[in-house]
């Protein structure tokens, strides 16, 4: 693909802190290379803001290779921008053309309060994991990887669910701010394996209890989460989570 430069207009959500009232600021950028990543483009803008003595835009990023789940940004109405199955850090400026206007907003959900500008607090996800997204094993020497036979289909489905990077795009896209795709991925990747069985009832009950406590909405199966998920986590996992939760909730002794 041919390299080109472009001039852009950016409308970015700026908010000093959690308590402050935020609003959109418009910025002009010139000579942005089509070879840049989206975040490099924001870096260029921040350099420009620093030179002008202004406060740079705060945004989350870490690995910049699509595996850590740190980057967010709701770009032109879609989490992680226009490309399919892609994180913001993997989005490149060749997705845009000269003269485009790009609107960038933070994830919007009361369970993800804005810290500053485009950064949101996603520790609610950590607390959901702490409530049950683990298995309990004795430490010591690593056990033989093939000691327990596992059906290949289950192993594959578990692996696909484990691909969830916990970025929160599902919550951002959902009209109910539901975290069900995230929780279902975390429940599924353990529930599908024998190692996840001993604690599977408590896991589903405790993780959903924590999810409700954090203020996420309920799932109405609209499918927006699946459509925007950078790791293509399937909604089948949500059905499995419902199954796990109902099975546990209707059968536990106390």
Task: Give the CA dihedral 22, 110, 9, 88, nearest 10 degrees.
Answer: 140
SS3 content of the chain, % helix, strand, coil (to 5): 35, 15, 50
User: Candidates 44-52, 115-123, 131-139, 223-231 — which segment interacts with other proteins by CB under 8 A?
Assistant: 223-231
Site for other proteins in 60-119 (CB under 8 A): 74, 76-78, 103, 105, 108-111
Spatial separation of the C-alpha atoms in residues 70 and 199, rounded to whole Å: 29
- State the greatest distance between any 2 C-alpha atoms of the chain, in Å, as a whole number: 66
The alpha carbon of residue 192 and the mean position of all alpha carbons in its chain are separated, in whole angstroms, by 22
Spatial separation of the C-alpha atoms in residues 31 and 22, rounded to whole Å: 28
Binding to other proteins by CB under 8 A, coded x per residue (else -) over 24-43, reads x-------------------
- In whole angstroms, how close is the CB of 116 to other proteins at the nearest point? 15
- In whole angstroms, how close is the CB of 15 to other proteins at the nearest point? 9
Spatial separation of the C-alpha atoms in residues 188 and 208, rounded to whole Å: 13
User: Candidates 32-40, 49-57, 132-140, 245-253 — which segment interacts with other proteins by CB under 8 A?
Assistant: 245-253
Closer to other proteins by CB, 165 or 183: give it.
Answer: 183
Site for other proteins in 174-203 (CB under 8 A): 175-178
Binding of other proteins at residue 249 (CB under 8 A)?
A: yes
Smallest Cα–Cα separation from 233: which of 155, 150, 169?
169
User: Candidates 36-44, 63-71, 134-142, 236-244 — which segment interacts with other proteins by CB under 8 A?
Assistant: 236-244
Spatial separation of the C-alpha atoms in residues 225 and 123, rounded to whole Å: 19
- In whole angstroms, how close is the CB of 16 to other proteins at the nearest point? 15
Q: Which of 8, 119, 228, 233 binds other proteins (CB under 8 A)?
A: 228
Closer to other proteins by CB, 7 or 110: give it.
Answer: 110
Strands (E) across the chain are located at 5-14, 23-33, 74-75, 78-79, 101-105, 114-116, 119-120
- In whole angstroms, how close is the CB of 112 to other proteins at the nearest point? 10
Contact residues for other proteins, defined by CB under 8 A: 11, 22, 24, 74, 76-78, 103, 105, 108-111, 173, 175-178, 205, 208-209, 211-212, 215-228, 235-236, 238-250, 252, 254
């Amino acid at each position: 693909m041919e390299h080109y430069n472009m001039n852009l207009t950016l409308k970015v959500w700026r908010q000093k802190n959690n308590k402050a009232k935020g609003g959109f600021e418009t910025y002009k950028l010139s000579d942005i290379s089509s070879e840049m990543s989206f975040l490099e483009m924001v870096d260029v803008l921040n350099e420009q803001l620093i030179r002008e003595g202004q406060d740079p835009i705060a945004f989350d990023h870490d690995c910049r290779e699509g595996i850590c789940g740190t980057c967010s940004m709701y770009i032109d109405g879609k989490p992680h921008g226009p490309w399919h199955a892609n994180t913001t850090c993997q989005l490149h400026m060749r997705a845009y053309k000269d003269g485009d206007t790009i609107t960038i907003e933070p994830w919007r959900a009361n369970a993800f309060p804005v810290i500053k500008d485009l950064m949101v607090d996603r520790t609610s996800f950590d607390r959901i994991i702490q409530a049950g997204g683990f298995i309990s094993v004795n430490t010591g020497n690593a056990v033989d990887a093939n000691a327990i036979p596992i059906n290949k289909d289950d192993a594959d489905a578990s692996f696909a669910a484990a691909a969830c990077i916990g970025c929160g795009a599902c919550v951002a896209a959902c009209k109910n701010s539901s975290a069900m795709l995230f929780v279902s991925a975390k429940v599924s990747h353990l529930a599908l394996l024998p190692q996840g069985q001993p604690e599977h009832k408590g896991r589903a009950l405790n993780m959903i209890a924590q999810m409700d406590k954090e203020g996420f909405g309920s799932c109405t199966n609209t499918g927006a989460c699946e459509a925007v998920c950078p790791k293509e986590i399937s909604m089948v996992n949500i059905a499995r989570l419902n199954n796990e939760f109902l099975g546990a909730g209707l059968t536990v002794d106390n």
